[in-house]
A and B are shown apart, each in its own frame.
Chain A
Amino acid sequence: MYVSDKKDAPIARLVRLRWRVAIGLSLAMMAIYFGFMGLIAFQKPALAKIVAPGVSVALIAGPSIIVSAFLLCTAYVLWANKVYDPAVRDLKK
């Protein structure tokens, strides 16, 4: 019933859209994290800079990564609930 091999079939388009969103958000998370770990690995002085009394770049970056992980998850859930799920429901009809 649902099976269709055509590239332009609605389900194929929806699946491509979900992959694009999923990969885009994954790449964003990876860029943030590996950017940070890249500095830890090869450029520690960049993170060691003290920008204000008691505040280093590292201490800003660390918690920001934690917050960004949560925000990216939230973004995906919002997209999935608002766009993806209704599209799946439409296809099911």
Chain B
Amino acid sequence: MPSTQSGLSIAFFLAFVVLTLWITYVAARRTHGTNSFFTAEGRISAWQNGWALAGDFLSAAALLGIAGIITANGFDGLVYSIGWLVGWPIMLFLIVEPLRNVGKFTMADLVAYRLNQRWVRSAAAIGSLTVILFYLIAQMVATGALIKLLFGIPYSTAVLIVGAAMLVYVLFGGMIATTWVQVIKAIMLLAGGAVLAALVLSRFSFDPRALFEAAAQQFGERVLQPGEKVVPGGWEAISLALALMFGTAAMPHVLMRVYTVKDVRDARLSITYATGLIGIFHLFVLIIGFGCMVLVGPAVVAKAGGGGNMAAPLLALTLGGEAFFGFICAVAFATMLAVVAGLTLSGVATLCHDIWTNVVRSGHAPEKEKMAVARVSTVLIAVLAVALGSVFEGQNVAFMVGLAFSVACAANFPTLVLSISWRRLSTAGAVSSILVGTVVCLTMILLSPTIQVDVLGGNLADLQSRWWFIPMRNPAIVAMPLSFFTAIVVSLLTPERQAAEKFDALRDAIVFGPAKVSAVQAPAEVAGVAAAKPQAL
């Protein structure tokens, strides 16, 4: 590794931090109430939101992790890339339209519309916070480890820097600053990826086939074929596919961004832009991974440590020199910051809007109080993220990402879909479905080899004779159908006339949007009051 790495990459990184802090300063003066704090008053354009969605969703794993997997194993890395993309169309077709037209800040706004606010929001908050928390821990631990690797900064300092920067963005700049951090990060990430991929292809007369052929000649045709090592086979693969597809479609921090644009038309457009940007990025990473395999070599990458995460930076070093290496490292750092900021903001929205305003205060809290709660929640989540990030140092937390997607798929997705499509869904049905989805995922992971073998170091042969042992690592294939089943059976057992009667009002709200009062003019509880008096009447 180059001796000047820290100097150059830290310079790039500092430039990013200074720029984003300046944006936060500007944004802070425009952040007055919860509406600007959580949605930027719907003033983000579709294009900006498309970039921000890509910046929100593409974690460091999408570049460093996947490039590393492809370098070591070839094609298999792409299976994960695809899984992270195919949930977006599902989100667009089934969820975006109703969510944007009925909700205000969170996805619970939609689920709770015709049900008992207090119960449903509490349950939805448990589902959302579980997803956010596990995802956040995984990001923080990965961040600490990667920054240690890339910049040579100690782990705890790295976690602290990320926590502090994220706290400043969210606390003072709210959604406006978070959006800009994500947009800038996405532009850096895609530009870096494009240049890196172009540099690789320039060595192969811009023909990807020549690149793949070179890889196959050096490492055998197996690198062009699906293998057994990275992606599981059999039902495990189907379970993983379910979690990736429907988990992505119900990720709270992504869904929250549909409220930042002016109407449902822009929300649709921005999801489509995001799908395109994320898709193109994954294609870049495919080229980068194979380029690294051929031009740097899996052995060199493995020796650099970090479980393959050094693949993309080392390729940048080989093709673009130390300056480019520094830039890619800085991009990775910026990437993590943007993702944790987005996660934190959606966690704050859940705590403040769902729990405090609608559960504790029954939908009637003064604006000032809500902002105070939002700020306190931000500090709380930031401190928690840094604390947990430090506690889990050196632990194998990669499974937490999969767990977050599984919970989103099993706890959030079924109720979201049933609340808009099935008249007879009852409060008890929705609440039990969310809880069953969450608890089944957590229990199954706890009793699976993921925890028992990988984390606790148990002996697989020993465990297989235990009655409680669950051999499956991906719980979605059990948890998701169980969650749907619970929702349906419990709803049929507890008919709720009021909820069924409000179904038509919900349908109209989905078609016509938030009545005549625009969100800007009425910062009061559009969604909260909606429960008491259906809009458009």
- In the complex, which residues of chain B have a beta carbon less than 8 angstroms from the beta carbon of A41? 233-238
Query: Which of A22, A37, A55, A62 lies at the interface centre, i.e. has the most chain B CB atoms within 10 A of its CB?
Result: A37
Interface bits A21-53 vs B (CB < 8 Å: 1, else 0): 111011001101110111011101001101011
Are A73 and B92 in contact (CB-based, < 8 A)?
Answer: yes
Are A65 and B537 in contact (CB-based, < 8 A)?
Answer: no
Q: Give A48 to B276 CA distance when docked, in angstroms.
A: 27
Contact pick for B279, options A30, A59, A67, CB 8 Å: A67
Q: Which B residues from 196 to 230 make CB contacts under 8 A with A?
A: 209-216, 221, 224-226, 228
Q: Give A42 to B276 CA distance when docked, in angstroms.
A: 29
- In the complex, which residues of chain B have a beta carbon less than 8 angstroms from the beta carbon of A30? 90, 245
Are B89 and A66 in contact (CB-based, < 8 A)?
Answer: no
Q: Give A47 to B82 CA distance when docked, in angstroms.
A: 15
Nearest Cβ on chain A to B269's Cβ, whole angstroms: 6
Are A11 and B75 in contact (CB-based, < 8 A)?
Answer: no
- In the complex, which residues of chain B have a beta carbon less than 8 angstroms from the beta carbon of A67? 279
Nearest Cβ on chain A to B535's Cβ, whole angstroms: 9
Q: Give A16 to B106 CA distance when docked, in angstroms.
A: 26
Q: Which of B133-141, B319-327, B504-512 contacts A (4 or more CB under 8 A)?
A: B504-512
Q: Does A77 contact B (CB under 8 A)?
A: yes
- In the complex, which residues of chain A have a beta carbon less than 8 angstroms from the beta carbon of B85? 65-66, 69
Count of interface residues, chain B, beta-carbon cutoff 8 Å: 59
Nearest Cβ on chain B to A21's Cβ, whole angstroms: 8
Secondary structure of the A contact surface, majority rule: helix
Q: Give A44 to B233 CA distance when docked, in angstroms.
A: 9
Nearest Cβ on chain A to B234's Cβ, whole angstroms: 5
Q: Contacts A63-B286, A76-B93 known; A53 to B241 CB distance under 8 Å?
A: no
Contacts from A to B (Cβ < 8 Å): 1-5, 11, 14-15, 18-19, 21-23, 25-26, 29-30, 32-34, 36-38, 40-42, 44, 47-48, 50, 52-56, 58-59, 62-63, 65-67, 69-70, 72-74, 76-77, 80-81, 85, 88, 91-92
10 shortest interchain CB distances as A-B pairs: A54-B213, A41-B237, A48-B225, A54-B212, A37-B241, A56-B224, A73-B272, A22-B93, A66-B279, A54-B209
The 20 sampled A-B contact pairs (Cβ below 8 Å) are A2-B512, A3-B504, A11-B507, A29-B89, A32-B86, A37-B79, A37-B238, A40-B237, A48-B226, A50-B221, A50-B225, A55-B209, A62-B78, A62-B286, A65-B86, A66-B283, A67-B279, A73-B272, A76-B272, A80-B97
Give 14 new A-B contacts, CB below 8 A, not counting A44-B226, A54-B213, A55-B212.
A2-B512, A23-B94, A26-B89, A29-B90, A33-B245, A41-B236, A42-B234, A47-B226, A50-B221, A62-B81, A62-B286, A67-B279, A73-B272, A76-B268
